[in-house]
């Protein structure tokens, strides 16, 4: 194919847009290496002092750990509930199941502040304010839509005759799910679980409403850090997170090849 003007226009344009998408994020890397105590590019030499501050701060480490384990619990809970839900809906495949699927994705559509307000009032009644359980429950609800969407996408590619054959051969429903369905939709479950983990790991508005002091998550520390004083430690945290994302994206890209 020849290099037509349209092609050149679109290619150049899209590289420019991709630069706009990616470069601003990468800026946190040089800033995290600054030798100054304020936000800026390194003046005289590169310094790892802000990474040291992060790694030596019990508060930051504790918040990081809290976010990781809450995210893990949420991923497991949302994947379990969401997978069972999707398999059930897939078997049913009727109008009621369709409505149920819509109900399940409502959290994607409701503005974060609005849902957090609803959580708050109900969590007060349940005694869940400022508790890890309260945050896990809220995050599980927010992760569920993503799990059901990706598990259902995997189920859509599954041949309906397979479970049917297993049932005909005398396998119970539970056994059919364990041995036939789950292995086939595992990629969808993993994607859903990863989504749920990330939703929880990044979630800030709910945490701001539902916690006060006993629960500190990484996003909350970053949020308070930005408001309190724009400190290069945040750039160090950001750099670590961007690097992890970069590695995972790279890994995903190589695998999809």
Interacting residues with other proteins between 9 and 28 (CB under 8 A):
10-11, 13-14, 17-18, 20-22, 24-25, 27-28
Contact assessment for residue 40 and residue 34, using Cβ atoms and an 8 Å cutoff? yes
**Per-residue interface string for the shown chain with other proteins, residues 200-219, x marking contact by CB under 8 A:** -xx-xx---xx-xxx----x
Residue carrying the six token digits 């290069």: 232
Candidates 42-50, 52-60, 103-111, 158-166: pick the segment binding other proteins (CB under 8 A): 103-111
Three-state secondary structure call for residue 212? coil
Minimum distance, C-beta of residue 142 to other proteins, in the bound complex (Å) = 9
State yes or no: residue 171 binds other proteins (CB under 8 A).
no
State yes or no: residue 39 binds other proteins (CB under 8 A).
yes
Q: Which helix (H) or strand (E) holds 13?
A: helix 5-26
**b/e per residue 13-48 (b: at least 16 CB within 10 A):** eeeeeeeeeeeeeeebeebbbbbeeeeeeeeeeebe
State yes or no: residue 249 binds other proteins (CB under 8 A).
yes
**Per-residue interface string for the shown chain with other proteins, residues 116-155, x marking contact by CB under 8 A:** -xxxxxx-x--x-xxx-----x--xx--x-x-xxx-xx--
Residue with smaller CB distance to other proteins, 5 or 183 = 5
Torsion on CA atoms 134, 140, 145, 151, rounded to nearest 10: -170
Minimum distance, C-beta of residue 245 to other proteins, in the bound complex (Å) = 5
């Amino acid at each position: 194919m020849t290099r037509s003007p349209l092609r050149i226009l679109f290619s150049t344009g899209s590289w420019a847009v991709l630069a706009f998408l990616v470069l601003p994020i990468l800026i946190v890397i040089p800033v995290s290496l600054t030798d100054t105590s304020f936000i800026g590019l390194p003046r005289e030499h590169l310094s790892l002092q802000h990474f040291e501050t992060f790694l030596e701060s019990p508060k930051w480490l504790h918040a990081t750990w809290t976010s990781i384990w809450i995210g893990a619990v949420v991923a497991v809970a949302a994947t379990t509930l969401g997978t069972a839900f999707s398999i059930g809906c897939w078997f049913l495949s009727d109008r009621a199941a369709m409505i149920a699927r819509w109900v399940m994705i409502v959290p994607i559509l409701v503005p974060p502040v609005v849902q957090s307000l609803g959580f708050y009032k109900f969590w007060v009644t349940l005694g869940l304010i400022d508790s890890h359980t309260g945050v896990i429950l809220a995050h599980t609800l927010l992760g569920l839509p993503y799990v059901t969407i990706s598990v259902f996408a995997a189920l859509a590619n599954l041949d309906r005759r397979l479970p049917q054959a297993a049932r005909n051969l005398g396998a119970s429903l539970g056994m059919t799910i364990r041995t036939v369905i789950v292995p086939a939709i595992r990629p969808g479950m993993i994607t859903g679980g990863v989504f749920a983990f990330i939703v929880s790991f990044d979630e800030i508005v709910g945490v701001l409403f539902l916690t006060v002091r006993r629960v500190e998550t990484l996003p909350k520390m970053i949020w308070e850090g930005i408001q309190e004083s724009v400190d290069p430690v945040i750039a160090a945290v950001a750099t670590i997170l961007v690097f992890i994302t970069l590695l995972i994206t790279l890994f995903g890209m190589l695998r999809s090849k």
